[in-house]
Chains A and B, each alone.
Chain A
């Protein structure tokens, strides 16, 4: 579960308000899609949730742990996939996975089973002993995803996770999302792909100029659509974010 209560964050000494009084709850077992135009505040919100940024005001809790007051407990139950896979290029894929397994305290038996599973799914098994430096962008993205899945976290936060993935990997990742949430866990991700959000997400939030302009299931969002002309998420998105 992720809870944001009246969270605000500004840059440049308050001149640029990236997130403005955002209140939002993502429930256990829920895939939550976070949409918004470029610069709307998606990545800032995500970085606030995982503790990479500190809010100016408001409270953020993950699985009941206050991110500001109990950061280690919050981090222990959360993994994060950034929008760009900046990882240790001089380590091999397996060394990176071992590092993540060590710092999250994943026992060997579970580690072995999960590493084997995700390496097969992401087709990384034959390159896992090579330096990450030698991987393509998509392969780097996959090793970050495999590392995020390794601790089997209760909450996963992903920033544009489908960018750079081939169709097969994207399909498998979407299946993994469903599997993760069916086990009662929480998944919060940002995307620009409306079709994915529409088909995959239990609920969707749309952020514009730092404010949550819509939030709910697909049916609830359709009810918000005042034009009553288009019923697709894309049209709703365009209407809500045109100003």
Chain B
């Protein structure tokens, strides 16, 4: 008997209920309300988030000024619409890239699937509920990219009601097409993977292939066809936006929804605007329908049994058992080993933690590879970012060393390993609370794990800097030294933030790392520390001190910060562990 037949809600009502439950569960609004208003916890976060929001205002102001300048160049040529396309396409490609993470985690690794699947719901309804959650998440992700462009252009062009109404509708529809495409690809991939015995490995490889493909698409298209060189800014910008072989036109040709969205906004209530809006919304609806149809056929076949592992039943012989039973490692080594194994064996953690640390270096490798492929050896042609970076890297040795150190530090510390180290334990945190090991010893082992992941990023960045940016070994060594010392405090600060408010009640591992506010807060703190270091170094350079003196002072400053932050972390661990309930 159907739910409707039993007097339950109709299909639309049921779908709305499932979506509403998904949104409530995912965004934890009830929990947040309870914590803020009833338990009066986490209230300190409100001013902190306000402060973080205020701190990004200068950055947005700079972006708005840049948009205004570009608009001023394009307007006399009647090409200001290209700017709008650029913002929208950038947002959609961002969704295409990061959506892969979200879709895999939400569709296949969320624990709520265990109780959603037995409910009398169709696979398409379950998937639609999860899709809605991801779409809303993406509104937040792309806001920083799309809104400044759309709003600034709208104000400068004095857009009428048609502009703003269509812009709002386009914004609401923006993530749907790229996410639906990603969902279709992922659903098909998981259907194949679920029949395999090496599921985790295949998920990892499959995700990397999808991400690599999205990257290659962006970078490949990003190679500007126009000449001009970095010095000819106005002409270069104009060529970038208007040349028939430009980035925009090439992306537009391959990914037309970006162009439809632009025409819908710019056209307003006129025929062109309404027609393109209808096209965008119509295709979005068709893709959602296609996704639901695909879900009905493929979703459950991909998800049911995914958690099953194919362990063989085999007894160990006495000798084997004797070899495999540990002869007694120190607690520090045991905890470090646990961290390492769990991180590396959980695909979502590995993708969002360890692999992110080699993400940025990998982008450089891709850029350089495509650059060579496209240009036959990589000339310093116009608009070539690698050539520009190489030119920068052959400047003043001090600038090269500090620049390379900054690059390595960012590559090492941008991953969320440190700032999710306690959250990742989730419901298993009781074990860490119970074992007879001092909190500071446990935290020290976790620190070593997070720091090694950071070092992996530093090492990869060093190789990229040497091979692709041609930074000399004499500059690389001090740069690596600086970034390794800087990494200590960044790791410690990230861990302190996560220890202050660990997210332990997650049902989807993605929440522990990718959607964990602590990771974002740690990034803000990292930017603060690196900005302070940058201004400190800048002041020393202006004072015209010797290179070795400047490097020595920066190193000493970072070392003091490293010592202070690790001491603070260990002290905080002793205080905080017993408080976490």
Chain A interfacial residues counted at CB < 8 A: 49
How does the 8 Å CB contact mask read for B308-324 relative to A, with 1 for contact and 0 for none?
11111111100001101
* Cross-chain contact B334 with A103 (CB below 8 angstroms): yes
The 3 closest A-B pairs by CB, nearest first: A130-B311, A102-B334, A134-B309
* Cross-chain contact B328 with A107 (CB below 8 angstroms): yes
* Cross-chain contact B579 with A54 (CB below 8 angstroms): yes
Other-chain residue from A13, A73, A94, A102 in contact with B328 (beta carbon distance below 8 A) = A102
* Cross-chain contact B328 with A91 (CB below 8 angstroms): no
User: What is the bound-complex CA distance between A53 and B578, given in angstroms?
Assistant: 8
Q: Which of B59-67, B227-235, B280-288, B341-349 interfaces with chain A?
A: B341-349
- B433 part of interface (Cβ distance < 8 Å): yes
- B2 part of interface (Cβ distance < 8 Å): no
- Tally A-B pairs: CB < 8 A: 120
Q: With contacts A95-B341, A103-B437 known, is A126 near B578, CB below 8 A?
A: no
Chain B hits for A131, CB < 8 A: 309, 311, 345
* Cross-chain contact B342 with A88 (CB below 8 angstroms): yes
* Cross-chain contact B428 with A87 (CB below 8 angstroms): yes
> For chain B, which range describes its interface: under 10, 10 to 19, 20 to 34, or 35 or more residues?
35 or more
Q: List 5 A-B contacts (CB under 8 A).
A: A51-B578, A71-B578, A106-B328, A108-B327, A126-B315
- B40 part of interface (Cβ distance < 8 Å): yes
Chain B hits for A210, CB < 8 A: none
Other-chain residue from B321, B334, B430, B436 in contact with A99 (beta carbon distance below 8 A) = B334
Q: How far is the CB of B215 from chain A (nearest CB, A)?
A: 28
How does the 8 Å CB contact mask read for A94-117 relative to B, with 1 for contact and 0 for none?
110111111111111001100110
Other-chain residue from B40, B322, B427, B438 in contact with A112 (beta carbon distance below 8 A) = B322
Known: A73-B436, A112-B321, A115-B325. 16 other contacts (CB 8 A): A50-B434, A51-B434, A75-B436, A76-B436, A84-B427, A87-B431, A90-B342, A91-B341, A99-B338, A100-B435, A102-B333, A105-B331, A107-B328, A111-B328, A127-B313, A130-B311
* Cross-chain contact A90 with B346 (CB below 8 angstroms): yes
How does the 8 Å CB contact mask read for B561-581 relative to A, with 1 for contact and 0 for none?
000000000000000001101
Q: With contacts A75-B436, A87-B428, A94-B324 known, is A125 near B311, CB below 8 A?
A: no
Chain B hits for A231, CB < 8 A: none
Complex: chain A residue closest to B344, CB-CB:
A90
Q: How far is the CB of B348 from chain A (nearest CB, A)?
A: 11
- A25 part of interface (Cβ distance < 8 Å): no
How does the 8 Å CB contact mask read for B400-439 relative to A, with 1 for contact and 0 for none?
0000000000000000000000000011101101111110
- A38 part of interface (Cβ distance < 8 Å): no
* Cross-chain contact A126 with B322 (CB below 8 angstroms): no
* Cross-chain contact A102 with B330 (CB below 8 angstroms): yes
* Cross-chain contact B309 with A82 (CB below 8 angstroms): no
Residues of B within 8 A of A (CB): 38-40, 307-316, 321-322, 324-331, 333-335, 337-338, 341-342, 345-346, 426-428, 430-431, 433-438, 578-579, 581
Q: How far is the CB of A175 from chain B (nearest CB, A)?
A: 23
* Cross-chain contact A128 with B39 (CB below 8 angstroms): no
Chain A hits for B334, CB < 8 A: 98-99, 102-103
Q: How far is the CB of B209 from chain A (nearest CB, A)?
A: 23
Chain B hits for A108, CB < 8 A: 325-328
How does the 8 Å CB contact mask read for A36-73 relative to B, with 1 for contact and 0 for none?
00000000000000111110000000000000100111
Q: How far is the CB of B429 from chain A (nearest CB, A)?
A: 9
Complex: chain A residue closest to B34, CB-CB:
A12
Chain B hits for A72, CB < 8 A: 436-438
- A232 part of interface (Cβ distance < 8 Å): no
- A129 part of interface (Cβ distance < 8 Å): yes
- A86 part of interface (Cβ distance < 8 Å): yes
Other-chain residue from A13, A75, A104, A129 in contact with B316 (beta carbon distance below 8 A) = A129
- A32 part of interface (Cβ distance < 8 Å): no
Q: How far is the CB of A137 from chain B (nearest CB, A)?
A: 12
Complex: chain A residue closest to B333, CB-CB:
A102
User: What is the bound-complex CA distance between A72 and B441, given in angstroms?
Assistant: 12
* Cross-chain contact A52 with B328 (CB below 8 angstroms): no
Chain A hits for B341, CB < 8 A: 90-91, 95
Q: How far is the CB of B301 from chain A (nearest CB, A)?
A: 20
Other-chain residue from B312, B324, B427 in contact with A130 (beta carbon distance below 8 A) = B312
* Cross-chain contact B431 with A88 (CB below 8 angstroms): yes
* Cross-chain contact A101 with B434 (CB below 8 angstroms): no
User: What is the bound-complex CA distance between A53 and B581, given in angstroms?
Assistant: 6
* Cross-chain contact A104 with B40 (CB below 8 angstroms): no
- A80 part of interface (Cβ distance < 8 Å): yes
Q: With contacts A102-B330, A102-B334, A103-B437 known, is A129 near B311, CB below 8 A?
A: yes
- A5 part of interface (Cβ distance < 8 Å): no
Chain A hits for B333, CB < 8 A: 102
* Cross-chain contact A134 with B311 (CB below 8 angstroms): yes
Q: How far is the CB of B443 from chain A (nearest CB, A)?
A: 14
* Cross-chain contact A86 with B430 (CB below 8 angstroms): yes
Chain B hits for A68, CB < 8 A: 578
Q: How far is the CB of A104 from chain B (nearest CB, A)?
A: 6
Q: How far is the CB of B510 from chain A (nearest CB, A)?
A: 16
User: What is the bound-complex CA distance between A51 and B338, given in angstroms?
Assistant: 22
User: What is the bound-complex CA distance between A91 and B313, given in angstroms?
Assistant: 16
Chain B hits for A76, CB < 8 A: 436
Q: How far is the CB of B427 from chain A (nearest CB, A)?
A: 4
Other-chain residue from B39, B307, B342, B438 in contact with A91 (beta carbon distance below 8 A) = B342
User: What is the bound-complex CA distance between A98 and B338, given in angstroms?
Assistant: 10
Complex: chain B residue closest to A95, CB-CB:
B341
Complex: chain B residue closest to A107, CB-CB:
B328
- A172 part of interface (Cβ distance < 8 Å): no
User: What is the bound-complex CA distance between A76 and B435, given in angstroms?
Assistant: 8
Q: How far is the CB of A151 from chain B (nearest CB, A)?
A: 9
Q: How far is the CB of B80 from chain A (nearest CB, A)?
A: 53
* Cross-chain contact B435 with A104 (CB below 8 angstroms): yes
Complex: chain B residue closest to A50, CB-CB:
B434
Complex: chain A residue closest to B442, CB-CB:
A103
User: What is the bound-complex CA distance between A19 and B327, given in angstroms?
Assistant: 42
Chain B hits for A84, CB < 8 A: 427
Q: With contacts A126-B315, A130-B309 known, is A86 near B39, CB below 8 A?
A: no
User: What is the bound-complex CA distance between A174 and B327, given in angstroms?
Assistant: 30
Chain B hits for A100, CB < 8 A: 435
Q: How far is the CB of A128 from chain B (nearest CB, A)?
A: 7
Q: How far is the CB of B55 from chain A (nearest CB, A)?
A: 32
How does the 8 Å CB contact mask read for A113-143 relative to B, with 1 for contact and 0 for none?
0011000000001111111011000000000
Q: With contacts A88-B338, A112-B322 known, is A104 near B436, CB below 8 A?
A: yes
* Cross-chain contact A102 with B329 (CB below 8 angstroms): yes
* Cross-chain contact A111 with B40 (CB below 8 angstroms): no
* Cross-chain contact A112 with B325 (CB below 8 angstroms): yes
